Copies of this chain bind each other. A is one copy, B any other.
Amino acid sequence: MTSDRESTDNQTYTISDLAAEFDVSARTLRFYEEKRLLSPSRTKGNQRVYTRRDRARLKLILRGKRFGYSLDEIAEMIGMTDVDMDERQQLEKSLAYGEKKLAEIRARKEELDLLEQDLLGVRRKLVKRLEELQQS
């Protein structure tokens, strides 16, 4: 398996474990930490230790990215934004942001269909042009 410890389902990962699994660089993971998107704990020797929870969050971050969200947006969605407001405000802000994003996601589902239609249209034209070339 990976570099685990006691197998009682408290699996942990090193930075390169996760980097390899999700095909990103270690630098990327450190960068996400700088931006407060992840906050792994550390070993006595100051090396990062990622839990299953960190891993799940990374998954979410990368998923968000694949849909064009900026890291700042993702930070707000998952409730990891500015520290200079009290927790209640913080939670409410994140909640509101999340609702907004959920609505966006539903809209995007429809847009994906449209994009698919667009591409199918492009394909038809390309195929047609190819057939014309065939005949000459």
CB-CB nearest in chain B for A88: B133
| Min CB–CB distance A75 → chain B (angstroms) | 12
Q: Is A27 an interface residue (CB 8 A)?
A: no
Measured in the bound complex, the distance between the Cα atoms of B127 and A18 in whole Å is 29
A65 proximity list for chain B (CB < 8 A): 68
Copies of this chain per assembly: 2
Interface core residue of A106, A109, A126 (most chain B CB under 10 Å)? A126
Interface residues of A in 70-103 (CB under 8 A from B): 77-79, 87-88, 91-92, 94-95, 98-99, 101-102
Interface residues on chain A, number (Cβ under 8 Å): 40
Complex interface: chain B residues within 8 A of A120 (CB):
102
The reply to whether A77 and B119 contact each other, CB–CB distance below 8 Å, is: yes
A49 at the A/B interface (Cβ < 8 Å)?
Answer: no
Distance between Cα atoms of A67 and B67 in the complex (Å): 5
| Complex Cα–Cα for A30 and B111 (A) | 25
Tell yes or no: A116 within 8 A of B by CB: yes
The one of B77, B105, B130 in contact with A91, judged by C-beta atoms closer than 8 angstroms, is: B130
Is A17 located at the chain interface by the 8 A CB criterion?
Answer: no
